[in-house]
Amino acid sequence: LLALLGNVVGKNQCPVPSIVLPYYRVVSPLGVVPEPVEGCYPLVPLGYSYNALEPFKDRVTMSYHHGRLWADETNALNKYLRELGACYDIIQILAAPAGSPITKSPLYEELKYYGGAFVNHALWFDEIGPQ
């Protein structure tokens, strides 16, 4: 997973994680694009409608997980990265060895929690789809 994201980059120069790139190439069939979040990592639109996975996942569940949970986690991650003053790659935060500078940050637990939640949802939405 470390290869999915680059190294630490300067403020306002965050790479778009490769695990979420497919969403940038697809326009939602409903034309619904989530409100953009400011910061290192964007909330990306789905490549399908919220009801495209029915009867396995209903519209309400998909809407909640994408438009609320993932949006909130993305906003929180970006907030803590802004407080830190740098756009670290999420995978590097999650894989940081004990004692490394990032693990000594008072924001480390929040970054780890929201970074993990962001990656979890990015992988889940990337793997699931109507196909």
The backbone torsions φ and ψ at residue 129, rounded to the nearest 5 degrees and listed phi first, read: 180, 170
Which class for 68: exposed (0-12), middle (13-18), buried (19 or more C-beta within 10 A)?
Answer: exposed
Q: How confident is the model at residue 109 (pLDDT cuts 50, 70, 90)?
A: very high
**Interatomic CA distance for residues 19 and 35, integer angstroms:** 20
Angle at 78 between CA 66 and CA 15, to 5 degrees: 90
Q: How confident is the model at residue 130 (pLDDT cuts 50, 70, 90)?
A: confident
Taking 70 as the threshold, does the pLDDT of residue 11 lie above it?
A: no
Q: What's the domain range around 66?
A: 56-131
Query: Looking at the domain assignment, is residue 37 inside a domain?
Result: no
Which class for 131: exposed (0-12), middle (13-18), buried (19 or more C-beta within 10 A)?
Answer: exposed
Give 113-122 pLDDT, tens digit per residue.
999 999 999 8
Structural domain tally of the chain? 1
Question: CATH number for the domain including 104?
Answer: 1.10.287
Has this prediction a pTM greater than 0.75?
A: no
Query: Looking at the domain assignment, is residue 45 inside a domain?
Result: no
